[in-house]
Structure 1
Amino acid sequence: MRSSFFARLVNDPFGDPALYVRVAHRREALLFDCGDLHPLAARDLLKIQAVFLSHAHIDHLCGFDQLLRTFLYREQPLLIYGPPGIGARIGHRLAAYTWNLIRGYPLSIEVREWAAGGQGLALHFRAAEGFQPQTPRPFACPAGLLHDTPHYQVRAQALEHGDILSLAFALEEKTHVAIHPDALEKFGYSPGPWLSRFKDLLRAGAPGTTPVDVPRDAGGRVRRPLAALAGDIAHCEAGMKIAYVTDASPSRENAAKITALAENAHLLAIEAVFAERDRHLAVERNHLTAGLAGRLARQAGAKKLLVFHHSPRYQGEAMLLREEAQAAYAGAISPLA
């Protein structure tokens, strides 16, 4: 399978949490947590369609101001998702500045709050109105579904992080449409933007008789029914999945939720704050150990493991945490009693 999502940590594993995910062929990206964003160029920031905040600790939210400053002239709205209360917190951040010179600016921000019962709140802020909050309205998030597009969706799972909630997220491609280059060559079809529309039609379940105009290498176009064209040049399979987990207490309840959320993920990006030798600190400070992160990835059947959010006490020992996580992921470390 060719990757549909390209994920990378914005900072090194000791830096602020922020996972940048570029969506292939879409000129768009998603951001999971919003720590220090200075390593991202403005062109990368401007591709962000939605931000998913696990919670509002400063290391997960301090990059918001940079994002806001970059987006002020953007016409496309910015979506922000997070736990209950995140709308008011974003509102306070916006209210901290003087906005008397932005009345003509197009930016609008919508903050959508997850809720356990599937009925959260959405708050809207417009630059043209000085980012004064509008009346909150209901936001439906059934079964944790936060963000739904024709191409992918994002679900949330609430984890305990001491006495607050921290959201974990799963980004899933709805259907992966694989194009066969040799078939394109065989039929003399010219690759190009039409393939994106073709894939969109398949994902949307369009009727098989839907006509698709296909450019030819030799010039001109040929019109083919969607189903026949799909049979000639493509096949569909389960889509790509990325799970993101951070700031979670090392409890059995959280472990069960994480493995369910990350089941069969192509990538699990998960915090590994402490080494197993310091498990007492992990319990005390409500974070995961590297060994537990690796075991959860193994239990979930994740195909790849990415650990981050290391405690600064291990500066110079990053390899220790990576190796401990990988050993547990490979099954070399037995589960804790």
Structure 2
Amino acid sequence: MRSTFFARAVNDPFHDPAVYVRVAHRREALLFDCGDLHPLAARDLLKVQAVFLSHAHIDHLAGFDHLLRTFLYREQPLLVYGPPGISARIGHRLAGYTWNLIRGYPLCIEVREWAPSGEGAAVRFCAAEGFQPRPATAFGCPEGLLHDTPHYQVRTLALDHGDIISLAFSLEEKVHVAIHPDALDRLGYPPGRWLGGFKDLLRTQAPDHTLVDVPMRDGGTQKRALGALARDIAHCEAGMKIAYVTDASPTAENVEKIVALAANAHLLAIEAVFAEADRHLAEERNHLTAALAGHLGRRAGVQKLLLFHHSPRYQKEPHRLQTEAHAAYSGTQTPQLP
């Protein structure tokens, strides 16, 4: 399977959490948490369609102002998802500035709050109104579904992080459409942007008789029925999945939730804050150990780990937590289980 999502940590594992996910062929990206964003170029930031905040600790939100400054001239709204109360916190950040010179700016920010009942709230802040909050409206998030597009969706569940919740997220491609290059060559169809529209028709379950204008390698176009064209040049399979987990207490309940959320993910981006030898610190500060992070990846059957959020106490041993997590992931080390 060719990757649909290209994920990378914005910072090194000892600095602020933020994972940037580029969506292939769509000129768009998603951002999971909003720590220091200065390593991202403006052209990358401007691709962000939605931000998913686990919680509002400063290391997960400090980059919001940099994102805001980059976005001020953008016409497309910015969506921000987070736990209950996040709209008030974003509102306070916006209220900390003087906005008398932006009345003609197009940007609107819509903050959508998850709620355990499945009935959350959305608050809109627009530059033309000085970022004053509009009255809250209803935001439905049944079974944790936050963000739904024809191509992918993002779900969430709440993890315990001491006396607050921290949201974990899963990003899933709805259907992966694989194109057969040999079939394109045999039929005289060139690769190109037309394939994106063809894939969109399949993802949205357009009728088989829908006509598709197919360019020919030697010039001109050919009209093909969608169903027949799909049988000739493509097949559909389960889509790509990425899970994001951070700031989770090492409890039995959290373990089971994480395993369910990340089940069979292609990538699990997960915090690995403390070494297993310092388990008492992990329990005191409500974080995962590296060994537990690796074990969770193994239990969930994920294909790859992306480890981040290391405690600075290990900076003199920069590879210790990575080594420990991968040992647990491979099964050569077993952590203490809650």
Instruction: Tell me whether 137-146 or 316-325 shows the greater mean CA deviation.
Output: 316-325
Match of 2:308 in 1: 308
1:168 aligns with 2:165: no
Query: What residue is the counterpart of 1:133 in the other structure?
Result: 133
CA distance in 2, matches of 1:141, 1:177: 27
User: How far is the alpha carbon of 1:293 from its aligned partner?
Assistant: 0.1
Indicate yes or no: 2:98 matched with 1:98. Answer: yes
Within 5 Å, which residues of 2 pair with 1:275-286? 275-286=275-286
SS in structure 1 of the partner of residue 139 of structure 2: strand
User: Structure 2: how far apart are the matches of 1:42 and 1:175?
Assistant: 30
Counterpart-to-counterpart distance in 1, 2:334 and 2:82? 34
The amino acid of 1:320's aligned partner reads: R
Residue identity matched to 2:316: G
Structure 2 distance, partners of 1:8, 1:306, is: 8
Q: Secondary structure at the match of 2:247?
A: coil
- In structure 2, C-alpha distance between the alignment counterparts of 1:133 and 1:304, rounded to whole Å: 41
Does 1:244 pair with 2:258?
A: no
Tell me the alpha carbon deviations over residues 189-222 of structure 1, each in whole angstroms, 9 at most, x when there is no partner.
0111110110000011111010000000010000
Shift of 1:317: 1.4
- State how far apart, in whole Å, the 2-side matches of 1:287 and 1:336 are: 14
Could you tell me which runs of 5 or more consecutive residues in structure 1 were left unpaired when the two chains were aligned. Answer: none
Q: Secondary structure at the match of 2:190?
A: coil
Q: Report the equivalent of 1:56.
A: 56
Distance in 2 (alpha carbons) for counterparts of 1:127 and 1:34 = 20
Q: Which runs of 5+ in 2 are unaligned?
A: none
* Residue number in structure 2 paired with 1:184: 184
Q: Which amino acid aligns with 2:269?
A: A
Give the equivalent residue in structure 2 for 1:148. Answer: 148
**Are 2:218 and 1:218 equivalent residues in the alignment?**
yes
Question: Whole-Å Cα distance in 2 between the matches of residues 13 and 233 of structure 1?
Answer: 42
Name the SS of the counterpart of 1:156 in structure 2.
Answer: strand
Aligned residues: 337
1:213 aligned counterpart, secondary structure: strand
- Residue 80 of structure 1 aligns with which residue? 80
In the TM superposition, 1:10-21 aligns within 5 A as 10-21=10-21
**How big is each residue's C-alpha offset from its partner over 1:3-46, in whole Å with a ceiling of 9 and x where there is no partner?**
00000000000010000000000000000000000000000000
Greater than 2 Å deviation, 4+ residue runs: 334-337
* Cα displacement (A) at 1:56: 0.1
Structure 2 residue matching 1:318: 3-state secondary structure: coil
Deviations 1:125-173 (A, max 9, x none): 0000000000001100000000000000000010000000000000000
The residue matched to 1:50 in structure 2 has which SS? strand
1:200 corresponding residue in structure 2? 200
CA distance in 2, matches of 1:109, 1:316: 41
Q: Show the counterpart of 1:230.
A: 230
Which letter does structure 2 place at the counterpart of 1:266?
Answer: H
In structure 2, how many angstroms separate the alpha carbons of the residues matched to 1:334 and 1:281? 18
Amino acid at match of 1:271: E
Q: Distance in 2 between matches of 1:92 and 1:271?
A: 28
Q: State the distance in 2 between where 1:318 and 1:280 align.
A: 21
Q: Which amino acid aligns with 1:328?
A: A
| TM-score with structure 2 setting the length | 0.99
Q: Deviations over 1:84-142 (max 9, x none)?
A: 00000000000000000000000000000000010000000000000000000110000
Residues 311-320 or 112-121, more deviating: 311-320
Whole-angstrom CA distance in 2 between matches of 1:249 and 1:199:
41
Cα distance, 1:176 vs structure 2: 0.2
Q: Which amino acid aligns with 1:211?
A: L
CA apart distance, 1:318:
2.3
Q: Which moved more, 1:188-197 or 1:159-168?
A: 188-197
Cα distance per residue 1:52-103 (max 9 Å; x no partner): 0000000000000000000000000000000000000000000000000000
Residues in 1 aligned to 2:293 and 2:327: alpha-carbon distance in whole angstroms: 10
Q: Over aligned residues, Cα RMSD in angstroms?
A: 0.6
Please state how far the C-alpha of 1:335 moved relative to its aligned partner: 4.7
2:302 maps to a residue whose letter is A
